[in-house]
């Protein structure tokens, strides 16, 4: 009877391995079919983002003296008017099929006029639970056929107290405009949603399996960090307003996620080092917690703008990235990297891609990479970390 039970268990284990392999193959076949169809077959949505027209060269800046200056959007433009309001003007040239204007609003209070008729306005009052400005978002303005040939004015009513980034303006039907807004971010969005799911699943598996496999404790924090990072990206995405009902709250939550992000990564990295640099990493973890507390205290209690309250968290995050990179490079020279080389490769690639992302954002704030580089870094670190845990199980 005992021999039969043992044979049954062995048979079941073999079948489970076959089933696992079969499931992976099934998923790969489905993905391959989907990708091939998307790449090869024609677009049958019935609408395309190319139907939307960019008005990048259509506007002029109207100065207080009455003279005008041609401007090409997107751009940076420092307001020098005494009124503190920057006004862009153009002539509406819309056919009956182009009934909407879409403005990429980079955090400004806006008023849009057709001749002297106010068609749209957005101000910072009553838009948040607490204080704060207008979030980066797409603003939609309805046009009429009778507007053709009339003057269109976009007024940045408080530009002197805001940033100097001016986003592009588009003309088209609403469906094509929505596709145009999503198109530049769809790859990173899909990747973020996928990694959020994977991070959550890995956390669950690691939680229930850590008694049998001690390395799962590392994977738990890696999965948690991946989940938080993916949530940050979704909250911070330019297309978040099409996912969440209130874009202002989503943007604030992006700051909270970013402030807490370094903490699970530091715990994961500490467990990779298995007792080395404990005091250094403990200091960084404390700094991460302090950065989050400073954000919450500054924003909720003191009344700071959330961007200003975020600076301590930025400093803590940069310190964490730099220290982790330095430790990995030190372990390369001493050859201790062999103990966790797969996870180290993922960590280094993540740090490099994160730094490139930050540099691109600082140098080209309105022409960035839509976050795809950062999401690739998160994905690479996750994959290499899981492979490292499997190798050393």
Question: Which architecture does CATH list for 50-181?
Answer: Sandwich (2.60)
The pLDDT of residue 291: 93
Count CB-CB contacts under 10 A for residue 168: 17
Q: Compute the average pLDDT of residues 182-191.
A: 80
Asked if residue 368 has pLDDT above 60, the reply is: no
The pLDDT of residue 47: 62
The pLDDT of residue 244: 83
Which strand ranges, in their side-by-side order, compose the sheet holding 53-54?
53-54, 169-172, 100-106, 136-142
Residue appearing with tokens 């950065």: 291
Q: Return phi, psi of residue 109, to 5°.
A: -80, 130
Q: Compute the average pLDDT of residues 1-12.
A: 61
> What six digits make up the tokens of 124?
């910072």
Distance between CA atoms of residues 220 and 204, nearest Å: 8
CA-based nearest residue to 138, from 169, 173, 159, 176: 169
Q: What whole-number percentage of the chain has pLDDT above 70? A: 84
The pLDDT of residue 369: 56
**For the ranges 13-17, 201-205, 279-283, which has the lowest average pLDDT?**
13-17
Say which residue, 26 or 122, is predicted with more confidence.
122
Q: Which residues contact 62 (CB under 8 A, 6 or more apart)?
A: 68, 87, 88, 89, 153
In contact, 68 and 60? CB cutoff 8 Å = yes
Asked if residue 290 has pLDDT above 90, the reply is: yes
Q: For all residues of the chain together, what is the average pLDDT? A: 82
Q: pLDDT tier at 302 (50, 70, 90 boundaries)?
A: confident
**What residues does each domain of the chain span?**
2-41, 50-181, 184-391
Q: Compute the average pLDDT of residues 315-324.
A: 89
Say what the alpha-carbon torsion angle 337, 342, 347, 348 is, to the nearest 10 degrees.
70
Strongest mean pLDDT among 131-145, 223-237, 284-298, 304-318 = 284-298
Residues 98-145 pLDDT 10s:
688 999 988 888 999 999 899 999 887 766 666 667 778 899 999 888
CA-based nearest residue to 199, from 161, 235, 225, 170: 225
Is the domain 184-391 a CATH 2.60.40 member? no
Domains 50-181 and 184-391 in one fold? no
**For the ranges 68-72, 267-271, 280-284, 371-375, which has the lowest average pLDDT?**
371-375
Q: Compute the average pLDDT of residues 21-27.
A: 76
């Amino acid at each position: 009877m005992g021999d039969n039970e043992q044979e049954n268990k062995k048979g079941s284990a073999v079948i489970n391995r076959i089933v696992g392999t079969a499931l992976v193959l099934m998923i790969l076949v489905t993905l391959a079919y989907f990708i091939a169809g998307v790449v090869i077959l024609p677009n049958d949505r019935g609408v395309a983002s190319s139907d939307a027209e960019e008005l990048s060269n259509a506007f002029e800046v109207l100065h207080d003296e009455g003279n005008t200056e041609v401007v090409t959007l997107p751009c940076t433009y420092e307001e020098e008017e005494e009124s503190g309001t920057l006004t862009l003007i153009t002539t509406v040239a819309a056919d009956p099929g182009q009934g909407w204007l879409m403005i990429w609003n980079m955090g400004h209070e806006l008023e849009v006029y057709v001749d002297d008729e106010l068609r749209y306005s957005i101000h910072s009052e009553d838009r948040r639970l607490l204080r704060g400005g207008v979030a980066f978002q797409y603003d939609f303005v309805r046009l009429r056929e009778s507007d053709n040939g009339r003057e269109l004015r976009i007024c940045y009513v408080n530009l002197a107290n805001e940033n100097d980034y001016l986003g592009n303006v588009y003309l088209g039907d609403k469906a094509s405009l929505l596709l145009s807004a999503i198109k530049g971010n769809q790859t990173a969005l899909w990747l973020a949603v996928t990694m959020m799911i994977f991070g959550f699943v890995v956390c669950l598996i690691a939680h229930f399996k850590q008694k049998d496999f001690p390395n799962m404790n590392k994977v738990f924090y890696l999965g948690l960090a991946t989940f938080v990072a993916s949530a940050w990206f979704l909250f911070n995405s330019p297309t978040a307003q099409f996912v969440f009902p209130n874009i202002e709250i989503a943007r604030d939550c992006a700051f909270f996620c970013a402030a807490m992000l370094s903490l699970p990564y530091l715990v994961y990295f500490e467990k990779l080092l298995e007792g080395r640099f404990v005091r250094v990493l403990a200091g960084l973890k404390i700094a991460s917690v302090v950065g989050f507390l400073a954000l919450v205290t500054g924003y909720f209690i003191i009344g700071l703008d959330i961007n200003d309250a975020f600076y301590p968290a930025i400093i803590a995050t940069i310190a964490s990235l730099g220290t982790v990179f330095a430790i990995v490079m030190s372990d390369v020279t001493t050859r201790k990297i062999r103990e966790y080389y797969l996870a180290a490769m993922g960590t280094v690639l993540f740090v490099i891609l994160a730094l490139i992302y930050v540099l691109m954002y600082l140098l080209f704030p309105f022409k960035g990479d839509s976050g795809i580089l950062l999401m690739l870094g998160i994905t690479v670190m996750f994959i290499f970390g899981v492979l490292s845990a499997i190798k050393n199980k």
